[in-house]
Amino acid sequence: MEEQAGGLFLFVAVALVFAQIVLRVVFNIGISGVYELATFSATFSVLLTASLGVKRNTHVRVDILRNLLSRRGALVLETVVQVLMLTVSLALLYSGWLLVDESLLFGDHTTGTIEIPMWAPQLIMPIAGALLTLRTLQRILSLIRTPDAVLQSPTPGAVD
């Protein structure tokens, strides 16, 4: 689900920016608020697909320390990293929820020509936090069940 939704939001962001450029260059007009919508779409794309990096174990990282450690040391390091990731994803979920709740309480809107209630674009934060939490918990369970398989470097281009 994350991959399709993230791809759709990325497509929307690119299409909006492309349309705005064409309108400005060819017709010398622009639509107010398009860049704001494109920014929201690009942000949605990034935050929705971040959980795929956790699921596939393909986030950018430096493996030098892990490669220098014994298998047991590497497992401990990976466990610590996943617990930290779980903490960050739960913080994103909680703080995102507080932000959305506050925006609803105060009735915040964007300040551009297109007035969008701020809770709508901010909703991506608790959604992304929930997805990251889910994927991190899955990763921790995989570490517990099959530690040797989880410690192997991911195969480039591999899809779960």
Query: Across the chain, what does the average pLDDT equal?
Result: 88
pTM of the model: 0.82
- What whole-number distance in Å separates Cα of residue 30 and Cα of residue 113? 12
- The 10s digit of each residue's pLDDT in 74-96 is 888 888 989 999 999 999 999 99
Which pLDDT score, from 0 to 100, does residue 149 have?
Answer: 66
The pLDDT of 99-113, averaged and rounded, is 90
- The 10s digit of each residue's pLDDT in 5-57 is 999 999 999 999 999 999 999 999 988 888 899 999 999 999 999 999 888 88
How many CB atoms lie under 10 A from the CB of residue 42?
Answer: 17
